[in-house]
A and B are shown apart, each in its own frame.
Chain A
Amino acid sequence: MSLIMVQLRFTPLLIPMNKSFTTPLLWLLVATIGAAAVGGIALNRGESINALWFIIAALCCYALAYRFYAAWIASTVLMVDETRATPAERLENGHDFIPTDRWVVFGHHFAAIAGPGPLVGPTLAAQFGFLPGTLWILVGAVLGGCVQDMVTLFFSTRRNGKSLGQMARDELGIMGGVAALIGTFTIMVILIAVLGLVVVNAMKHSPWATFTVSATLPIAMLVGVYMRHLRPGQVLEASTVGVILLLIAVAGGGWVDGNPALRAWFDMDGLSLAWCIMAYGLAAAVMPVWLLLAPRDYLSTFMKLGTISLLAIALVLLHPDIKMPALTPFVDGSGPIFGGKLFPFVFITIACGAISGFHSLVASGTTPKLLANERDIRMIGYGAMLLESFVAIMAMIAATVLDPGVFFAINSPAGMVGAEAAQAVAKITAWGFPVSVGQMQRLAQQMGEATLFARTGGAPSLAVGMASIFGSVFGESLLALWYHFAIMFEAIFILTTLDAGTRVGRFMLQDMLGNIWPKMADTSWTPSVLITSTVVVACWGYFLYIGVIDPNGGVNILWPLFGIANQMLAAIALCVATGILVKSGRLRYAWITAAPLSWLIIVTGTAAYEKLTSSDLRVGFFAAAHDLSDKLAAGLLPAAKAAIAPQLIFNLYLDAYLTLFFVTVLLLVVLDMLKVSANSLLGRPVQPLSEVPHTPNRMTEQQLAQWGRD
Chain B
Amino acid sequence: MAEKLRRLWQFIRRLSGDDAYERYLKHCATHHLGDINPPLSKKAYFKQRLEAKWSGINRCC
Q: Could you tell me which A residues sit within 8 Å of B by CB distance?
A: 1-2, 4-5, 92, 94-96, 98, 101, 103-104, 107-108, 112-113, 115-117, 184, 191, 195, 227-228, 232-236, 239, 289-290, 293-294, 297-298, 351-352, 356, 358-359, 361-362, 365-366, 496-497, 500-501, 503-504, 507, 523, 562, 566, 708
B56 x A365 contact (CB < 8 A): yes
In the complex, what residue of chain A is closest to B24 when comparing beta carbons? Answer: A94
Instruction: Give B24-61 interface residues, CB cut-off 8 Å to A.
Output: 24, 27-28, 31, 33, 42-43, 45-61
Q: Which of A117, A236, A566 has the most CB of B within 10 A?
A: A236
Q: Could you tell me which B residues sit within 8 Å of A by CB distance?
A: 8, 11-18, 20-21, 23-24, 27-28, 31, 33, 42-43, 45-61
- Contacts of B50 on A, CB cut-off 8 Å? 289-290, 294
A228 x B13 contact (CB < 8 A): no
- Contacts of B42 on A, CB cut-off 8 Å? 232-233
Q: Nearest-CB distance from A512 to chain B (Å)?
A: 15
- Contacts of B54 on A, CB cut-off 8 Å? 289, 293-294, 500, 503
- Contacts of B51 on A, CB cut-off 8 Å? 289
In the complex, what residue of chain A is closest to B28 when comparing beta carbons? Answer: A94
- Contacts of B56 on A, CB cut-off 8 Å? 365-366, 504, 507
A570 to B44, CA, bound (A): 38
A94 interface neighbour in B16, B27, B46, B58, Cβ under 8 Å: B27
- Contacts of A361 on B, CB cut-off 8 Å? 57, 60
Given the known interface contacts A95-B49, A503-B54, the answer about A235 and B59 at a Cβ–Cβ threshold of 8 Å is: no
A356 x B60 contact (CB < 8 A): yes
B59 interface neighbour in A4, A107, A497, Cβ under 8 Å: A497
Top 8 closest pairs, chain A to chain B, by CB: A117-B61, A358-B60, A500-B59, A232-B43, A233-B46, A289-B54, A94-B27, A235-B18
B60 x A362 contact (CB < 8 A): yes
B16 interface neighbour in A113, A236, A708, Cβ under 8 Å: A236
Write 7 A-B pairs (CB below 8 A) sorted by A numbering.
A1-B12, A5-B8, A103-B11, A115-B60, A235-B18, A289-B50, A298-B16
A504 x B11 contact (CB < 8 A): no
Q: Nearest-CB distance from A665 to chain B (Å)?
A: 19
Given the known interface contacts A94-B27, A104-B15, the answer about A496 and B58 at a Cβ–Cβ threshold of 8 Å is: no
B57 x A95 contact (CB < 8 A): no
In the complex, what residue of chain A is closest to B26 when comparing beta carbons? Answer: A94
A235 x B61 contact (CB < 8 A): no
B12 interface neighbour in A236, A298, A362, Cβ under 8 Å: A236
A708 to B11, CA, bound (A): 9
In the complex, what residue of chain B is closest to A108 when comparing beta carbons? Answer: B15
Q: Nearest-CB distance from A366 to chain B (Å)?
A: 5
- Contacts of A2 on B, CB cut-off 8 Å? 8
B58 x A362 contact (CB < 8 A): yes
Q: Which of B23, B49, B55, B60 has the most CB of A within 10 A?
A: B60
